[in-house]
Each structure stands twice: as structure tokens, then as C-alpha cells.
Structure 1
Amino acid sequence: MAAFGLGSAAALVSFLPTAAMLKVGNHGGGIYNNGFLVPGLGDLFFSANPVHASRIMAFNGYTEIRQSIFYAAWFVFPIIIFTNWKIIRILPVRVVSISIFSVLLFMLTQGPEQLGPIRYSIRFIPYFHIFSIIIFLYFWSHFPVKSLSHNRFKVLLGIVVFTTLLSLQQFPHMPRAIIWSGVILAAASYAFAYKRLTPVLWYSLTLGIAIFARLSGGPANPTTAEWWAYVNNLHADNLSLIPKDYSICLISNPTFSTDSKRFEDVWFGNMGLAHGIAGVNGYSPIGQQALVRNFFPIVHGWTFPNAGQTGLSRDPLTGLTIFDLMRVSTVVAAAGSDAERFASDKSPEWQLIKQTKYASKFTHKLPNQSLPGSLSWPLSGYTVTEPQKATATKEILQFGSIGPDVHDLIFARTYWLGYKATFNGISIPVTPYNGYLISVKLPDNAKSGTLELTFHIPFLKISIFAAFLSMLTTCLLLVWRKIWRFSGEEPVYHIQK
């Protein structure tokens, strides 16, 4: 129970902020399994030469993948060989419990592909391996062999030789790398088996072999995005600063063309970052409910067929279009039905500035483009300046005068829990507008003053404190071993002879 409590406290930093998003968030549910990113059993018990690839169903079908999470068996197999299994007669209940939990995690690695909001069973692999390694380390530390026989070492060496031959069979054009990997692993196995290493050498050798195995496995997977594309655009991308206007890509069918060159004109997912585009549609594992209902049905940022009509519709309160309130000045519509629909629905102020084989690009002048920061409405009735550039987490506006008809302000920001606003130091309400924009209500007697809009991740400070307290307590328990002593006998599970 103590371990469960400490572990739960340490995990709060990843759980509480995410849980706070669920009130306005949208994370696809359902139970189904198409085999996507479901690892094979051979990968879960992977023990081959590091220069070895697996196969897994990914975005482009079955593809080669090399993941460090598949190398956990290299810790398990030596432990199996260095443990004296014949003398094991009793096991603490906690070891049995961890074993059962490890089996459950193993089952989760095999699907379903999506279970409610939990997506992709491949994510359970590290946890299954961690618990498995903990169990085998317990056996090794409590039931080690007194002296390693030559037969046991031959078994370990045989595993190295056999898996090296498997890798040579898979990659006959890479004999040098594979053979050298096998030699280094064999030498490390010999050092572990017969040399009395100091703890420093033991840990250094273990860490060195782990790093070597990962590096020799290859720098990246084919299913990983071309990360250098982002580096080339870092000078153009600053996700902290708020842009003056945005673009949106209307793409309801991403397979409208099979030519990869189409992505030079259209985008979804994280492609906008690679192009240096301030786009409103991108990859979002937890979508905003109202945006999902109106524009983006799936996490990759594809749009509804009528997303353009929704953006062009007039808001009854402000008189502006939804795109104007979102400060969307540019629309890129994928060739075909998306481009045809937007061209027929748009007003004359939207001008076609570029047309290619894959997309049509439209732009218009925003009625609120002169407003500072992310302020979107009202357009008049006050004087305002921006003392500093608005960022993703903070925006300050100084109002010189506020007319009697100005009560609410609308900002072109996505509404999430965690936004707070003050006017002259006094807290004022922050509410969603249309479900996805930020609305701030000014005090009734507001004439002039300073508005400060900030965003703080909910429960972040308290969860960080809980994680710190958990780690501190764990360290103290490890230092003062007397605290671990049980009053009475520890429950055990007897193994029948």
C-alpha cells in the first residue's frame, strides 16, 4: 500500500492536469482493434542482436521498426540463467501480486487497439517490461547461483550467437555491424559471469551496453516524422508568441490525392509547424469539445465537409463571421469538393490569391486586425494599448477609456480551464464564447484600467509538490532501511514441490 500511495503521488503530475482538461476536452472513445501499433509476441520478448528489426502495423502498413523498448529481454535472459530456480520454495505475496499485475499489462499490450479513451496498446510495453524486470531482479538478488557453471554460460553465449545469426539472416548486407555487436555482447556476458566487478564498473558496463544496443539499432524509425524539417523552421516558429492572424486548411478527405507533393500546399497534423504556418488545425490528442463539434472531427486536424460554411457564418451577437472572431485571415482548401464548396459559399471580400493542382488559397482583410494581442471583439468603444507582446500564457492590455456599451471582450484563444483574468487587480469572470473562444466580462463601472489575462495549467503546482514529496519520502525510506521492517511475519506464497 505504501508503494502504491507513493507511486500514485508521483504520477499526479501527469494525471491531474490532464484530468482537468476533460471537462472541456474531447478524447475519442470506443472499443476496437484493427491491429494498429499492436506489437507481436516476438517483439515483447525481444532478445535478438541489437541490429535487428521488427515488423508492426503502422500508418503505412506493416513497416520496419527498431525500438529500444523491445530490448528489455536482454535484462531478463541473463537473470534467468544466473538464478538458482531449484531452491525457490516460498515467495512474498507482494512478488506474486506484481507478477499478476505484469501478466495483466502483458495482456493489454495485445489490444484492443483502443479501449475507451486509452489509445494504442503499444504504450503498455514499457510498463510490462519494467514490472517483469523487477520480478526477475528479485529472484536474482534472493536466489543467485553460488557459482556459475560452464553450462549456464554456454546457454547465455548460445543466445548471443543464435540471435546474431538471425540478424545476419535478416540483414546480410550489414555483417560488420552485426558481428561486432555480437562480439561486444559476448564479451559483456563473460564479464558479468566470471569477473568480480565493483559496483561502479557493474553499473557503468550495464549503462554502456544499454546505450550501445540502442545506438547500434539505428538512429530513427521509418514511421517517425522527419524531425529535421522542424529544425529548419525554428527561426519562423515561436509557439509562445501570439500571431496577429491565423490560417486554416479545409481538408475533409486527406486522400483526395496520392501524390506526396500535395503536402506542399495542404497540411494537417503537425505539418503546419514544419511549414512555419500559424494554423488552427493540427494534431491534438485531447481536442477541445466545441472545436471538435464544429470543425475538427479527429485528432489529426482534418475538417468537416461543412467547416468552411461554419467559419463563414455570422455570429448573431458580434455581427462578425466565426473566422473573423478566430482571426482567420487565410483559408487553404484542398482541391476538389473542399475548394469548390468554399469558393461557392465565400463572400466577395475573400480573394483567391493562389491556385495549384492540390489546393486553392483564399485571403481577406480582418475587421479586427488593428486590435492588439489576441483581442478580437468589440471593434470600437474604447482605447487600448499593448505594453508587451502577448504570449500563450500572458496578455496585458491597458484601456485608456471604456465606453458604456462595452461589457464583454472576446479573445481569439481556445478556451481551456486554467484561464484567469484581473482588471485593476480584481478578479473578473472568464467564460467560453461559442464553446471555444475566450470571453472576459468587465466590471460594470469600468472606465479605464489594466486587464491581465493569464493561463496556468490546473493543479500543476500541487501535483509537482506531491511528486517531489513522494520522491523525497522514497529516498528517505531507502536510506533508513529500518523503516522497511515489518512488525510480524511477511505473508508468503508456498510453492509445492
Structure 2
Amino acid sequence: MTTVSDPPEVEPATPVATDASDAPDGGRWRAVAVPLGVCLLVAALALIPLLGNRTFYFWDDSAAQFVPMWNALGERILEGNWPPLLDLDAWMGGNLAAEALFGVWNPVNAANYVLVASLGDLAVAGAVVKTEFLVLLALGVYLLCREYGAARWSASVIAVALPFSGFTLYFEASTWAAGLMAFTWVPYVWWSVRRSARGRMLAVWPFLFGGLAITAGNPYGLLAVCVVFLGLLVEFALRGQRRAILRVLLVGLTMVGFALLVFLPLLGNSSVSWRGGNSLRNDRQLVPTLSDVLNMSMPSFVPSITSFAPGSIRMTVPATYFAWFVLPLAAWLDWGVLRRRWRSLAGALVVGGCYLAATVGPSNLWMFRWPLRLVECVFLGLGVVLAVVLGAGLRTDHARRRIAVTALVILVSGYLAFAAWPKLSPRHLVSMGLLALLTATAVVVFLRARRWLAVALHGGTVVTLLLMITWFPGNRDVTNHDFPHSVAAIRHDFAERYQGTTFQIADPWFISNPSTRPAEPWRDVLFGNMYRAAGVASTTAYTGMGNRFMAEELMLTYLGGVHAQAKPPTYERLTRPTPVGPSLADLMRVNTIVVQRPLLDSPPPPAGWRVAERNDAVTVLRREAPLPWPDGRLSFASANLRVTADVKDHQRTENVRFERSGAGQGQLVFARLAWPGYTAQVNGVDVPVRTGPGGLVVVDIPDGVRGGELRLHWSPPGVTVGLVTIGAGLLVALALSGYQLRSRRHPARFGVSE
């Protein structure tokens, strides 16, 4: 293959055509057929992990946190409650606005929650929703690569490979669902902002895609949006396109409101929550090295990265794998394309470079931790560059030299894989042989029938995925809770037995330890948010926020369990009198207490309680008499107040009618955690809300008030500011779009030279 002198860099108005399938006369059907084929292929490949592991997408946090809460949120939305900002029955995990990760403001998330609630099987629901987002991710990557001028076939190759890279598949898709949901929208934001800056898309579209990315709720999504904007600003600055820079800045301003809406509640709850991570340190957990990231094409490579298991020295899955063809084909690519077009690719280089630096950086930086999470954005930036370079075809001159370089690359990759885990040597040998075979096949196909090169590369992706799933059927770096996943069966086992608010005193260690694991481990206790799927109002909930007042008083861990060594026992703290008078069990309106027997074998029933059930695993206590005020969350009224009605209008509002029966200040306590944002009015006059025992809401009734109505309402901090700012951003986006439509009549006034 001969080379020519480099022409001046000019970004094409349409992607470069490199073969018959990409030629302008190829017909419009290819513009639809290729991305449709990408979506169908990714949907099919997403089923492969289920062949040997039907709970692959119902794993670790997806089982303990996300999918069961999706089911509960879907039921709430079907009841007409959207967005569901507060879930009182989840207690510490119920401040959904502050938790952020559930993306309760995101309409796509909301539609999926309704879908989950209608499916009836949590494992199936997890697989369906995550397959959807893998498909959406692939389509976004395809569009982004095309925007940068990649050929259709090369864009499709990257788009199919990226969703099945090691971290995205084994961590984001399998367990950390919020990360997948946020990352999915990043390519769309990048694509739409760049097109809008170039005058080829109305500004309202990046506004909407930015809203979807940010309202997904994961702070890493917001971080990625910011880095993308940085990359685009650098790119257009290098190209001297000032109008494009201005448009990027204006479009970015339209998205500020989404960030305020999602993350102001999180920050506003910092005074009562235990959310940590505001530090700069490196404990080496989930911190890859540069060599880990660079060895991205070896499907058997298990990097030496500290994971969550005690004493961990390496991972158990190929977490830094990207695609089989990246390194083996590097010697065959025409890198002159990058030299000629580096300015137009500067955005991708900046995004990939920034994330590469952060990926090998410290383990904790403010609220961001575990930099392995960032590796997929490294691959996104690299993927854009590869799609453009690969689209120019392979170079076959100096064949011996290229073969030698490829052989060296495969040998070095194999040695690094062997050094990381010598025990897997047979797998490493198979991987090396497979990479050599796939590379040779790709080169031969290119020489004899270039139009089939994409098929060869896609075929290699399928083969390597099958191999990885065979070798690594599940992510053992995190916890497989092995929870039951039939919603009907879960409710059959728990909803009738555990009535009313249920307080569970249990430690998951006794379930995971083989010596104490019951024959039916999930017959009597559940952890995380599984009680939400069971329809049980329980203080056992997964939370990243927590409420430090409740946690400190009752010694609750982040999973809602109890430390086995905790003293004094949680049971004693729950049932002893508080400064208000009644016990926390009474103030929290607890109706059922479940105590794991290895923690406390024979809990003495408090007055008014009885042992309702006792088996080898748990003792279940139940309140004998019904609680007063069954229509609301009021749990205590001082002796000088007579409550005549208490009605909970919905999760966030409650109305109490009362009469004064004695002198002095009155006091009302509610079975609600005192999250910031509560306000109270007595007969239309504001009265203070304070934090009482166990972090509960307490309202003091002034001495001079003889009676009337108390209205208690909760609104997350910053929501009004966020909604107003979003409205302003929408107006700006619409104004920019209107200007674009008018300016299209005079392209020279608006458009960037393409």
C-alpha cells in the first residue's frame, strides 16, 4: 500500500467513505440498517452471560440495592406517584432524592421501573433493563464515531465491542446498574453537543440528552459530561472555531439545572448523613496500573488490582479488557490518519487522556473513589479514535515487519497475563493463539474481500465474549447474594409473616459463612432492599446516604444489619424508654421484630409484645395491640394534646388535627426520619421541626395554641432551585434552536466551515 503526502486537515461534512457499503450512492437504507444491525447484535450478545449464569444481571448491588427498589418504585409510579422522592417504609434508604442513584427524575428510568414492576421476576427484569441499556450504549457509540467521520463498518465494530468490555460487562452491567445507566447517555451527550456546535443539530437535543445523563443520578455521569465539554472546547479551540466554542458553552449552561436538581439534595443532607469519601488518599482499592489498562486485548488477563475481598491481591475477572483487535491490529492500521486529523480528533484524545490519568490516579478524590470505574471512558475516547483510523482500512506493506510487531505485542500481553496469575497459564495460551488466529483472519479477509472485514472483527468479538463468559461466568470480586428473585414467592414467604413496620436484627455474615448458613438461607431474613420487593416496610435497607442519628442510636450498618459485637445490644436500645418516654420501637411504629438467633438467642419480649414465631434461624416478636392513628405516621403525642385525626396525604405530607387538653408546650413525634427539608405549620403559622430520638421528626406545639391542624411537609433541599434553573435552561435551549432554524436560511451567518 503506497502512501501520499498529507493533505490539509479538513473534517468531512459526512463520514469518509472507504468501501462500497459506505459510498454516498449506497442508499439510505444502510444509514438505518447498520445501526439497527448493531442494536440487534448487541441484544443477542447480551444473552450470552445468561447461558451459564441466569442471575448474571442480578448480582451484588443489583440484587441488594437496585432491582428490588426498581420494583417498588415501579409500583409507586403505577399508583400515580412520580417522581417518588421519599419512601418512608425504606427508612434510612428511603430518601430517594438524596440517594440520587435511582435517578427518580429520569423519565427513561421511570418507564423501566414500571416495566420491572410488571415482570414479576427480579432476575429477568434485571436482564431486560440492562440489555436495553447495553443496546442504547452501543447505538450512542456508533453515532458518536460516525460524527467524528468514522466509516459505518468501523463505527459498528467499536459500538459492538465497547458494551462487552470487561468493566462495563462485569461491573456496570452485572452489578453497578446506576453506572451503566449514566454511562449509556454520555456518547449521546457528546454526539449531540458536537453536532449542535457545528450547526447540524438543534440545541434542544443536547439539552435533553444532557438531562438524561445527569438525572440518571450517578455523579460519574455528571463528571463524564463535564470532561466531554472540556474535550470539545479544546477541540474547537485548536481548530480556531470561536462560534462553536460559544455554542458549546451556551449548551453547557442549559444543563446546569439538571445538576442542581439531582445533587443539591445529596449535598443538603450532608449534615445528617454518613456519606463519606470527601478525602484525597490512595488505599490501592480498585486502582489499576498503566500496564493493566494497556493490556486491553487479552481476554484471559486478570489484573493485579485490589478488590473488595479481604486479602485480595488480584481481580477474578478481566476488568481492563476492551476489545481483542485493539493491540493485535495496531501494527496494521494507518496511523497517518491520526496525524492528518489530530485537531478534529482532539476532543476524543482529551477525553481519553484525562480519564487515563484519573484511572491510574489515587483511589479517593472527594466523592469519587475506585478509579477502575473510569476505565470505560478511556475506552470510549480511544474507541472514537480507533473507529476513525480503522475506517481507513489496513496497511499491508512491510508485511514481515508488521507480523513481527503483532507477534511481539501478543507475546508481551500473554506474559503480563501470566505474571498476573500464573495459575491460568492454559487460558493465557489459548488467548494468545486465538488473538494470533483472529488477527491473521482479519488481515487475510482484508486482502481478499475487504467488505467482509467488519464481519471478521465482529466474529472475533463474539468468540472472545463466549470465551470470557466460559472462563469467568460471574464477578467474584463482589458479592453474589443469591437472593430469591420471584416477587410472588418472596411476598408469599414474608408479607404475611412480617406485618407492619419490621425491625430486623441480623448479620449477613451468618448467611454467607458455610458453618452457620441455614439450609434455606433466605427463608427468614433478607438484606439490602429486598424487603421492598417483598412488600414489607422494613428498617433493613441499602443506603449510600444513611442517617447518622438513627445509625448511631441503633448501631446499624450500611446494609441495615447489625454488628455481631455491638454493645449494648441493638435490641436493648430499640426497646428501652427514650427521653420522650416511649421506646424507639413505639416511636418508630414498629409492629414486628425479627432477631437472628446467633446474635441474640432468646430476646425477652417487651411489655405488650409476644413471641409469634421461633425456628432454628430467628425469633419473631409481634406487637399485641394495634397502634393508634393507623392512617398516618404520628407515633406520640404529649399528655396535654388530644389528637382527633392523623392522615398521611402521601409520603411527603401529613395532617394532624388536635386539641389542647392541658397547659404547657405540646409535643408530637412522627415515625419519620428528620431529613433536611421538613417544614411544619400550625393553623397556617410556621413552627420549628427538630430531630428527636433516633433521628425522628419532632414538632413542638406552642403553649398559646389551643387546637387546630398541623401540616407537616417534606421537600428535598434544592429542588425548587433545580426546577427553576431547568426551566431557564429549557428556554435558552429553545431560543438557541429557534436561532438555528432561522439562521439555516443564511448558513454563512451561523455555520462553522466544515
CA contact (8 A) 1:424 1:449 kept: yes
Where 1:381 maps in the other structure, the secondary structure is strand
- The whole-number CA distance in structure 2 between the counterparts of 1:328 and 1:465 is 42
Which of 711, 715, 735 matches 1:451?
A: 711
- The whole-number CA distance in structure 1 between the counterparts of 2:630 and 2:299 is 57
Query: Which shifted more, 406-415 or 284-293?
Result: 406-415
In structure 2, the gaps of 5 or more residues are 1-225, 231-248
Q: Deviations over 1:437-469 (max 9, x none)?
A: 123456764744473534446435357558868
Q: Kindly tell me: are residues 385 and 288 of structure 1, through their superposed partners in 2, closer, same or farther at Cα, counting changes over 3 Å?
A: closer
| 2:214 corresponds to | none
- The whole-number CA distance in structure 2 between the counterparts of 1:88 and 1:324 is 72
| 2:335 corresponds to | 84
- The whole-number CA distance in structure 1 between the counterparts of 2:393 and 2:509 is 65
**Cα drift, residue 278 of structure 1:** 2.9
| 2:242 corresponds to | none
Structure in which a larger fraction of residues adopt strand: 1
**Is residue 221 from structure 1 mapped to residue 488 from structure 2 by the alignment?**
no
Q: Kindly tell me: are residues 64 and 101 of structure 1, through their superposed partners in 2, closer, same or farther at Cα, counting changes over 3 Å?
A: closer
TM-score w.r.t. the length of structure 2 is: 0.47
| 2:272 corresponds to | 24
**Structure 2 letter corresponding to 1:416:** W
**Is residue 415 from structure 1 mapped to residue 674 from structure 2 by the alignment?**
yes
**Is residue 382 from structure 1 mapped to residue 633 from structure 2 by the alignment?**
no
Q: Deviations over 1:329-371 (max 9, x none)?
A: 33333335x416954xx64544344444444333334674543
Q: Deviations over 1:401-445 (max 9, x none)?
A: 533558443221222223345566766544322362123456764
- The whole-number CA distance in structure 2 between the counterparts of 1:31 and 1:260 is 39
| 1:436 corresponds to | 695
**Cα drift, residue 273 of structure 1:** 4.6
Where 2:555 maps in the other structure, the secondary structure is coil
In structure 1, the gaps of 5 or more residues are 487-497
| 2:567 corresponds to | 305
CA contact (8 A) 1:350 1:364 kept: yes
Where 1:308 maps in the other structure, the secondary structure is helix
**Cα drift, residue 259 of structure 1:** 2.5
Which of 629, 632, 635 matches 1:373?
A: 632
1:231-310 paired onto structure 2 within 5 Å: 231-232=486-487, 236=491, 244-251=500-507, 258-261=515-518, 263-264=521-522, 265-270=524-529, 272-273=531-532, 277-296=536-555, 298-301=557-560, 302-303=562-563, 304-306=566-568, 307-310=570-573
CA contact (8 A) 1:352 1:360 kept: yes
CA contact (8 A) 2:333 2:393 kept: no
Q: Deviations over 1:23-61 (max 9, x none)?
A: 221124577766544456665345447688778634477
**Cα drift, residue 210 of structure 1:** 7.5
| 1:127 corresponds to | 377
1:352-371 paired onto structure 2 within 5 Å: 352-365=611-624, 368-371=627-630
Where 2:691 maps in the other structure, the secondary structure is strand
**Cα drift, residue 269 of structure 1:** 3.5
Q: Kindly tell me: are residues 310 and 107 of structure 1, through their superposed partners in 2, closer, same or farther at Cα, counting changes over 3 Å?
A: same
CA RMSD of aligned residues (A): 5.8
- The whole-number CA distance in structure 1 between the counterparts of 2:466 and 2:553 is 45
**Cα drift, residue 86 of structure 1:** 9.6
**Cα drift, residue 325 of structure 1:** 0.7
Query: Which shifted more, 120-129 or 265-274?
Result: 265-274
**Structure 1 letter corresponding to 2:322:** A
Where 1:26 maps in the other structure, the secondary structure is coil
**Cα drift, residue 99 of structure 1:** 6.2
| 2:114 corresponds to | none
1:41-190 paired onto structure 2 within 5 Å: 44-45=293-294, 47-48=296-297, 57-59=307-309, 65-66=316-317, 70-73=320-323, 76-77=326-327, 81-85=332-336, 88=339, 98=351, 101-108=354-361, 111-112=362-363, 114=364, 117-133=367-383, 136=385, 141=388, 148-149=395-396, 151=399
Q: How many residues align?
A: 464
Where 2:577 maps in the other structure, the secondary structure is coil
Q: Kindly tell me: are residues 472 and 41 of structure 1, through their superposed partners in 2, closer, same or farther at Cα, counting changes over 3 Å?
A: farther
1:319-330 paired onto structure 2 within 5 Å: 319-330=581-592
**Cα drift, residue 305 of structure 1:** 2.7
- The whole-number CA distance in structure 2 between the counterparts of 1:212 and 1:411 is 58
Where 2:578 maps in the other structure, the secondary structure is coil
| 1:394 corresponds to | 652
**Is residue 3 from structure 1 mapped to residue 229 from structure 2 by the alignment?**
yes
**Cα drift, residue 323 of structure 1:** 1.9
- The whole-number CA distance in structure 1 between the counterparts of 2:678 and 2:467 is 46
CA contact (8 A) 2:611 2:622 kept: yes
**Cα drift, residue 384 of structure 1:** 0.8
CA contact (8 A) 2:612 2:621 kept: yes
1:201-212 paired onto structure 2 within 5 Å: none
CA contact (8 A) 2:351 2:378 kept: no
Q: Deviations over 1:125-172 (max 9, x none)?
A: 2334334445x35xx7599868732649868997999899x99x9698
**Cα drift, residue 321 of structure 1:** 0.8
- The whole-number CA distance in structure 2 between the counterparts of 1:484 and 1:300 is 54
Where 2:713 maps in the other structure, the secondary structure is strand
**Structure 1 letter corresponding to 2:579:** P
TM-score w.r.t. the length of structure 1 is: 0.66
CA contact (8 A) 2:648 2:654 kept: yes
Q: Kindly tell me: are residues 104 and 457 of structure 1, through their superposed partners in 2, closer, same or farther at Cα, counting changes over 3 Å?
A: same
- The whole-number CA distance in structure 1 between the counterparts of 2:330 and 2:738 is 28
> Percentage identity across aligned positions?
19
Which of 313, 333, 338 matches 2:595?
A: 333
